[in-house]
């Protein structure tokens, strides 16, 4: 019996990557935002007041495929990490809501499945579901939310008190070999595109290839010919290129080919946790040199290594499956293990379920860990090239920032570290909007007029 896609995503995502390789005057907002995190009431009050006028943007939030149903309605304060109630509570001005389809298996030379097997069609179906969720939200709640097609749209919607949706796309796999899909999705409102997710595809190598599906590191030596063509096409269309999740070679080639700034929409510095999924100092410098932005992600396992207690439990699990121990904490997030790649799906499922039970006991990273990563990135590439993202609904969230309604806690951490309000405004969206302006202005006017500004 074929496992449902959501269950299969659970098994081939994080577990594979992990195992393989004040006072009464402040009472209202203090209830929602302090959570005994230790910030002085004065700092929390400043953060609260700043967010009443600050334009704030989270560059990577995913939507579950059942968003809008099963108690996850957009206008209800549900159990998920994103909804309009929480966004208003933040207040968060807008976010990149990401349209993606799971990479069931890439269609490279060694892959056991080809596009004709229907996997691309299913991945496209997942894209369509998420796109319909976004357009349905805008249709049903026009006084609360709208799509921002331009930076000016975003600023206008912020002024109107509406949540601004910025449509991004992650993973080229569902597009097959059809470059014209970029034009189609740009016409529908896509304004940022990331080639890679977990696993390589026929456009670009991933920082996390999947040997479980016959992947290999640097299978394409970066970008394929199709991927290289896509860089120019995205530049012409005025779409931001997102280099998060890319292999180092692929990122370097985008830097060489693109005439517009690059963005890493949800990445952390490798100095925090030494894994290929995080960005090296050299990669961050390439993004800066392009004029781009590194959006530091609040993803716990990318911000701090696993504790020794967790590693001991993981090694005990690995011994029970006749696997060698992990040599150090950092490689717990490394991809690739040919032994596991040869397992049956049933055996891997048993291993993954036990792995998750261990990982759920691992203490989350904190706002301090996120602040340390932001500090490091600012020191390396400058305040004008750094932003903030959550990766909510795909594993993101740290203690104190576990949904979009808690962004003021992040700001309180930044204030405590001495960041000025002007610098905080850059981190929370000013830098990203500057890049978006630049990318839009570099587009070919004829193509933009053909695409229009509405889906």
Domain boundaries, the chain: 55-303+365-400+419-451
Q: Distance (Å, rounded) from C-alpha 163 to C-alpha 145?
A: 5
Which pLDDT value is given to residue 171?
93
Lowest mean per-residue pLDDT among 65-79, 90-104, 252-266:
65-79
Confidence at 355, pLDDT banded by 50, 70, 90: confident
| Confidence check: pLDDT of 164 > 70 | yes
Q: Distance (Å, rounded) from C-alpha 348 to C-alpha 11?
A: 8
Which pLDDT value is given to residue 41?
94
CA distances from 268 to 88, 165, 274, 375, 400 (A): 27, 23, 10, 11, 18
Which pLDDT value is given to residue 337?
62
Q: Distance (Å, rounded) from C-alpha 77 to C-alpha 165?
A: 18
Q: Bigger pLDDT: 117 or 211?
A: 211
Other CB atoms within a 10 A radius of the CB of residue 153 amount to: 17
Other CB atoms within a 10 A radius of the CB of residue 117 amount to: 14
Strand partners, 57: 94
Which pLDDT value is given to residue 212?
65
Angle (CA) 271 277 279, round 5°: 45
Q: Bigger pLDDT: 414 or 105?
A: 414
Q: What is the pTM of this model?
A: 0.88
Q: Distance (Å, rounded) from C-alpha 292 to C-alpha 432?
A: 8
| Confidence check: pLDDT of 19 > 70 | no
Confidence at 86, pLDDT banded by 50, 70, 90: very high
Other CB atoms within a 10 A radius of the CB of residue 183 amount to: 18
Q: Distance (Å, rounded) from C-alpha 30 to C-alpha 339?
A: 51
Q: How far apart are the first and last CA of the chain?
A: 38
Mean pLDDT, to the nearest integer, of 210-238? 90
Confidence at 328, pLDDT banded by 50, 70, 90: low
Strand partners, 165: 95, 147
Confidence at 78, pLDDT banded by 50, 70, 90: confident
| Residues with Cβ within 8 Å of residue 328, at least 6 apart in sequence | none
pLDDT in tens, 111-155: 444 544 567 788 888 899 999 999 999 999 999 999 999 999 999
Find the radius of gyration of the CA atoms of the chain: 21
Q: Distance (Å, rounded) from C-alpha 108 to C-alpha 122?
A: 18
Which pLDDT value is given to residue 113?
45
Q: Bigger pLDDT: 40 or 324?
A: 40
CATH: 3.20.20.140, 1.10.3720.10, 3.30.390.30, 3.30.1440.10. Which one for 55-303+365-400+419-451? 3.20.20.140
Compute the residue count for the chain: 455
Answer positive or negative: Cα dihedral of 36, 30, 141, 78. Answer: positive
The 3-state DSSP composition of the chain as helix, strand, coil percent (nearest 5) reads 50, 15, 40
| Confidence check: pLDDT of 93 > 80 | yes
Distance from CA of residue 262 to its chain's centroid?
15
> What does the block give as tokens for 151?
């930076």
Which pLDDT value is given to residue 347?
84
Backbone phi, psi, residue 389, to 5°: -145, 165
By CB atoms closer than 10 A (0-12, 13-18, 19+), residue 218 is middle
Helix, coil or strand: residue 74: coil
> What does the block give as tokens for 41?
């009431």
DSSP state of 176: T
> What does the block give as tokens for 440?
């839009």
Confidence at 25, pLDDT banded by 50, 70, 90: very low
DSSP state of 2: P
Q: Are 97 and 81 in contact (CB under 8 A)?
A: no
Where are the alpha helices (H) located in 56-212, listed in sequence order? 84-89, 119-140, 151-160, 180-187
| Confidence check: pLDDT of 276 > 80 | yes
Which pLDDT value is given to residue 437?
98
Q: Looking only at Cα atoms, what is the longest distance across the chain?
A: 65
Q: Are 268 and 279 in contact (CB under 8 A)?
A: yes
Answer positive or negative: Cα dihedral of 440, 426, 57, 276. Answer: positive
DSSP state of 65: T
Residue linked to tokens 């805008």: 138
CA distances from 416 to 47, 213, 226, 411, 426 (A): 10, 46, 46, 8, 17
| Confidence check: pLDDT of 28 > 50 | no
| Confidence check: pLDDT of 453 > 90 | no
């Amino acid at each position: 019996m074929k496992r449902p896609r959501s269950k299969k995503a659970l098994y081939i995502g994080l577990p594979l990557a992990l195992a393989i390789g004040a006072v009464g005057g402040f009472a209202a907002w203090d209830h929602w935002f302090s959570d005994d995190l230790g910030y002085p009431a004065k700092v929390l009050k400043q953060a609260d007041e700043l967010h009443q006028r600050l334009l704030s943007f989270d560059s990577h939030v995913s939507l579950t495929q059942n968003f809008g149903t099963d108690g996850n309605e957009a206008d209800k304060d549900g159990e998920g990490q994103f909804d309009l109630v929480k966004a208003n509570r933040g207040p968060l001005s807008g976010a990149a809501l990401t349209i993606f389809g799971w990479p069931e298996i890439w269609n490279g030379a060694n892959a056991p499945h080809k596009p004709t097997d229907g996997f691309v069609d299913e991945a496209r179906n997942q894209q369509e579901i998420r796109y319909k969720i976004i357009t349905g939200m805008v249709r049903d709640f026009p006084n609360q939310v709208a799509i921002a097609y331009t930076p000016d749209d975003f600023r206008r919607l912020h002024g109107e008190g509406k949540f601004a949706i910025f449509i991004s796309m992650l993973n080229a796999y569902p597009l097959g070999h059809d470059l014209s899909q970029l034009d189609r999705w740009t016409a529908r409102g896509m304004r940022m595109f990331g080639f890679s997710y977990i696993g390589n595809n026929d456009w670009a190598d991933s920082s996390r290839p999947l040997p479980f599906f016959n992947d290999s590191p640097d299978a394409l030596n970066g970008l394929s010919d199709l991927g290289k063509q896509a860089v120019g096409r995205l530049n012409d269309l005025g779409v931001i290129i997102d280099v998060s999740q890319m292999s180092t070679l692929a990122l370097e080639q985008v830097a060489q080919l693109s005439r517009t700034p690059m963005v890493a929409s949800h990445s952390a510095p490798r100095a925090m946790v030494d894994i290929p999924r995080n960005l090296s100092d050299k990669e961050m410098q390439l993004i800066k040199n392009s004029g781009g932005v590194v959006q530091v992600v609040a993803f716990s396992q990318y911000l701090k290594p696993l504790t020794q207690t967790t590693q001991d439990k993981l090694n005990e699990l690995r011994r029970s499956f006749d696997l060698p121990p992990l040599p150090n904490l950092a490689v717990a997030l490394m991809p690739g293990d040919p032994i596991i790649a040869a397992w049956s799906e049933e055996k891997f499922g048993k291993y993954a379920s036990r792995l998750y039970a261990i990982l759920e006991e691992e203490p989350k990273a904190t706002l301090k860990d996120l602040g340390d990563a932001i500090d490091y990135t600012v020191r390396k590439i400058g305040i004008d090239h750094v932003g903030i993202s959550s990766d909510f609904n795909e594993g993101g969230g740290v203690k104190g920032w576990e949904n979009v309604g808690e962004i003021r806690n992040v700001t309180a951490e930044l204030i405590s570290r001495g960041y000025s309000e002007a610098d905080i405004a850059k981190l929370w969206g000013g830098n990203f909007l500057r890049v978006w302006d630049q990318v839009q202005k570099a587009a070919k006017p004829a193509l933009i007029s053909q695409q229009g500004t509405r889906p």
